[in-house]
Amino acid sequence: MIEVFLAEIAKKEIGSLLKDIPTFVKDLNATEVLNYAEADKPLYEQEMSKKDIIDLNRINGDLSEVQVDKQLQELYPERQRHTVIDEAHFPIARIETINDHLEGTVHPETGVPFEAKVIELTDGTRIEGVFPQFDPTFDVQLPENMYLDTDYRQFSYANQQLKEAIQQNPELAKRFNALQLEQIEEGETPDGFTWHHSEEVGKLQLVDERIHALTGHTGGRNIWGGGSPHR
């Protein structure tokens, strides 16, 4: 009877120390837990001895989560710990994407491969979806303060980056014809190309315009760029 009573006290001690499960779990090893509700399970399930409870009573609120976890590991090294999948602070949200049935294969018309990827957004949110892997001629990383800008502003910035890169890299210039180089010099997107919003946060890719149009997909504008209202 006394053991049951002590175990209840121990559970209350752990509950007060580990009340913020989503924050705490970032420092633990991952298991197949996909949401906060699942993560909010007892981390250590066996009953504790009187000595264990005394040890826990020495822990105060000033200790960091890592220090708390370390002491619990020392007390119960063999216990299974529960956390969010992939050792992430946030669970992974699986989203439906256009043509996600093509995962691991290629688009039947364009030959563009589709792959499942996990993307971490600027707020720490992690999402998983299936995205096309185009063969870009040039990549541009937007500054974070431009993520929600219009296509016009984003593409103008990307064209300027392309222009400067060509001026410094003759090999890159060889990938364009005379007319396209003239357009790039004027700050325009070269004929036959378009800027693709990659699923990777803030990345624009210069890709073949026709292949891009024929390859239905969910792009970065809908992932990190604010969606259609920001176009």
pLDDT for the residue 55 = 53
In this prediction, residue 227 carries a pLDDT of 83
CA distance 226 to 207: 22
pLDDT tens-digit map of 49-104: 444 544 555 554 444 445 545 555 666 555 444 333 444 455 788 899 999 999 99
- Of 126, 156, 128, 131, which is closest to residue 142 (Cα–Cα)? 156
Q: Which residues are CB-contacts of 63 (< 8 A; sequence separation ≥ 6)?
A: none
Average pLDDT over residues 31-35: 40
Alpha-carbon distance 217 to 103, whole Å? 12
Q: Is 17 left (phi over 0), alpha (psi -120 to 50) or beta?
A: alpha
pLDDT digits (tens, 9 = 90+) for 111-168: 999 999 999 998 888 999 999 999 999 999 999 999 999 999 999 999 999 999 999 9
pLDDT greater at residue 176 or residue 43? 176
At 173-226, the pLDDT tens digits run 999 999 999 999 999 999 999 999 999 999 999 999 999 999 999 999 999 898
C-alpha to C-alpha distances, 226 to 11, 118, 126, 147, 161, nearest whole angstrom: 43, 18, 16, 8, 23
- DSSP symbols for 157-195: HHHHHHHHHHHH-HHHHTTS-HHHHHHHHTT-PPTTEEE
